[in-house]
Amino acid sequence: MKQHLIAPSLLAADFTKLGEDIEMVNNSEADWFHLDVMDGNFVPNISYGMSIIKAIKGMAKKPLDVHLMIEEPERYIEQFREAGADIITVHYEACPHIHRTIQQIKETGAKAGVAINPGTPVSVLDDILEDLDMVLVMSVNPGFGGQKFIYRTLQKIKDLRERMDIRNLSKLIEVDGGVGLQNAEVVVKSGADVLVAGSSVFKSKNPTNSIHLLKQVVKNTSIV
Ligand code: DX5
Ligand code: ZN
C-alpha cells in the first residue's frame, strides 16, 4: 500500500505559541513539518529564516521539509541544512542552474525537491526528474497561506505522475496550497504523495483532529 504523508505548514501557526504548536504536531499523526521561507523578492511576503528553523529543529521530532521561496537559493543551501532541514526544496523559477543546485542540496546530505508555480508546466522537469527526490506542485501562487486551491493543478499532478511512471521513477509528489478535507481525496487520486496543510490545520478548532481526519482521508483513498 502506498503511503501518503501529511505535512502541516507552520506558516499558519500562532507564532506567539510556536512551541505548543510544534508539540501538537509532534504528538499528532502528521509526518513532516513544512516550513515556508519567503524573501520578499521571489514572493511578495517575508516569513522567517534559518534561526527560526534551528529553533524548531530543537523541538521537532519529525523531519523538517523546508520550502525555499527565495531568489538565489544556492547562496543559502548549506546554512539551511546546518539549521536542520531534512528536505530542501527550491523553486524551478528561481534557479537558472537547477541541475547544479539539486546536486548542491544532495551534497549536504539533505533530500532535494524542486517546486513549480501554478503557471509553470511540468514538462520543464523532464531533464531533472532522475536527479530529484521530490517535486512540489504549487496549487496556489506562492507567498501567502489561506488561498484558494487552483483546480487546474490536478491535471498537472496527473501529468507529472504519468511522466514518472513511464520512466519507472517513484519520486514523491508534494502538493502545497489550499489543501484541506474538501479536496484531499481528489489530490491523492491525482497522484500526490505528500499533502501540505496550513490553514486547514492551524485555523481549525482542533488541529490534532484535523490532521487525524486528513490522514483518514488519504488512508481510505484507493489509487487506481
Ligand atoms: C504558500 C506556502 C504554503 C502555505 C500553505 O506560499 O508555500 O506552504 O503555508 O498554506 P495553506 O494550506 O493555508 O494554503
Ligand atoms: Zn510551502
pLDDT of residue 194: 98
Rounded Cα gap, residues 55 and 214, in angstroms: 27
In a domain, 122, yes or no: yes
pLDDT recorded at residue 221 = 86
DSSP for 18-35? HHHHHHHHHTSS---EEE
Nearest one of 170, 94, 179 to 138, comparing CA atoms: 179
Ligand 1 neighbourhood includes 146 CB (under 6 angstroms)? yes
Q: Is 198 in the pocket of ligand 1 (CB under 6 A)?
A: yes
- Could you tell me the CA-to-CA distances from 72 to 91, 99, 167 in Å, in that order? 10, 14, 30
* Overall average pLDDT of the 50-59 stretch: 98
Q: In what order do the strands lie in the sheet with 33-38?
A: 5-8, 194-197, 172-176, 134-138, 111-116, 87-91, 64-69, 33-38
Rounded to 10°, the helix 18-26/50-59 angle is: 50
Catalytic residue, candidates 21, 65, 176, 193:
176
Task: Assess whether the C-beta atom of 141 lies below 6 angstroms from ligand 1.
Answer: no
How many domains would you assign to the chain?
1
Write the CB contacts of 181 (distance below 8 Å, at least 6 apart in sequence). Answer: 200, 210, 213, 214, 217
In short, whether 113's Cβ falls inside 6 Å of ligand 1 is no
Confidence of residue 44 (pLDDT cuts 50, 70, 90): very high
Pocket-testing residue among 39, 183, 194, 199, ligand 1, by greatest number of atoms within 8 A of Cβ: 199
Asked if residue 26 is part of any domain, the answer here is yes
Q: Write the DSSP assignment of 80-121 as a string of letters.
A: HHHHT-SEEEEEGGG-TTHHHHHHHHHHTT-EEEEEE-TTS-
Tens digit of each residue's pLDDT (9 = 90 or more) over 209-224 = 999 999 999 988 876 5
pLDDT in tens, 61-91: 999 999 999 999 999 999 999 999 999 999 9
Question: How much distance in Å is there from the Cα of 63 to the middle of ligand 1?
Answer: 18
Pairing state of beta strands 194-197 and 5-8? parallel
Q: Is residue 49 part of a domain?
A: yes
For residue 191, give the C-alpha cell. 497522484
Instruction: Look at residue 212 in the predicted model and tell me its pLDDT.
Output: 98
Ligand nearest to the CA of residue 146, numbered in listed order:
1
Provide the pLDDT for residue 224: 55
From 6, 21, 36, mutation site for ligand 1 pocket: most ligand atoms within 8 A of C-beta: 36
How high is the pLDDT of residue 3? 86
Q: Could you give the 3-state DSSP secondary structure of residue 148? A: coil
Q: What is the CATH number of the domain that holds 174?
A: 3.20.20.70
Q: How far is the CA of 70 from the centre of ligand 1 (A)?
A: 15
Question: Looking at per-residue confidence, does 12 or 220 come out higher?
Answer: 12
* pLDDT greater than 90 at residue 21: yes
pTM over 0.75: yes
Average pLDDT, the chain: 97
Range of the domain at 75: 5-219
Q: Which atom of ligand 1 is nearest to the CA of 141?
A: 6
Tens of pLDDT, residues 131-150: 999 999 999 999 999 999 99
**Domain-embedded: residue 224:** no
Atom of ligand 1 at shortest range from CA of 149: 14
What is the average pLDDT across 190-194? 97
Chain CA centroid to CA 12, Å: 14
